[in-house]
Copies of this chain bind each other. A is one copy, B any other.
């Protein structure tokens, strides 16, 4: 039975990859770079996007906002004058805990691809399944908050391995935590040797310029 389950999962991922490639072709034709932004719930994805997307040296950014339900984050980002499209996994997609290529494909007609250079897809807050589903992105970025503990790379290695960049957020709280940054970086290097990382506080703005520059370069 376990073998059957694993095979079903593998078949589903193969199908997903086919659709992801179709998405990628559409994005490429439109000249839009796509970044898939992932993290646990409450790690600071939206706060970071509020900080960096409104001023990207002329790069025109848009957001595809993934949530199980509601539009709280989309409303926050619309307030900083970024075009935002909401994608709810609870609306016809069974309340899935992640975005997949098919869901993103369903949103493409609503995206203003002709008016943007960069699309950030804010995935559902979850450290497991979002890492398994490509959506047609050019790069995957994850945020790990220091409040989550230094063991997270070891517990969710697929997520940390799937990313081209790891953002270590909420460093303004470091002095109030037992979090051991050296140990976190050691664990990170163990599961994804050499992956670039950036230290930042999306709340205070400390260190976010490096990510803003990275986005400008990527676009």
Contact with B along A146-174 (1 / 0, CB 8 A): 01110110111110000000000010110
Which A169-195 residues sit within 8 Å CB-CB of chain B? Answer: 170, 172-173, 176-178
Contact B173 A69 (CB under 8 A): no
> A68-B156, A154-B70 are contacts. A42–B9 as well, Cβ < 8 Å?
no
Give the size range of A's interface with the partner: 35 or more
Contact B9 A145 (CB under 8 A): no
> A173-B173, A173-B176, A176-B176 are contacts. A95–B155 as well, Cβ < 8 Å?
no
Contact B155 A70 (CB under 8 A): yes
Binds B, one of A23-31, A55-63, A120-128, A211-219: A120-128
Residue among B41, B72, B147, B152 making CB contact with A173, cutoff 8 Å: B147
Contact A68 B178 (CB under 8 A): no
- CB A94 to nearest CB in B, in angstroms, measures 4
Which A96-132 residues sit within 8 Å CB-CB of chain B? Answer: 96-97, 124-129, 132
CA distance A126 to B148 in the complex (A): 13
Residue among B42, B69, B132, B154 making CB contact with A145, cutoff 8 Å: B42
Contact B203 A178 (CB under 8 A): yes
For A128, A129, A148, A173, which residue has the most chain B Cβ atoms within 10 angstroms? Answer: A128
B residues near A176, Cβ cutoff 8 Å: 172-173, 176
Residue contacts A-B, CB under 8 angstroms, 15 given: A2-B92, A5-B94, A6-B92, A6-B94, A40-B40, A42-B147, A68-B156, A69-B155, A72-B151, A95-B158, A97-B128, A126-B126, A126-B127, A147-B173, A176-B176
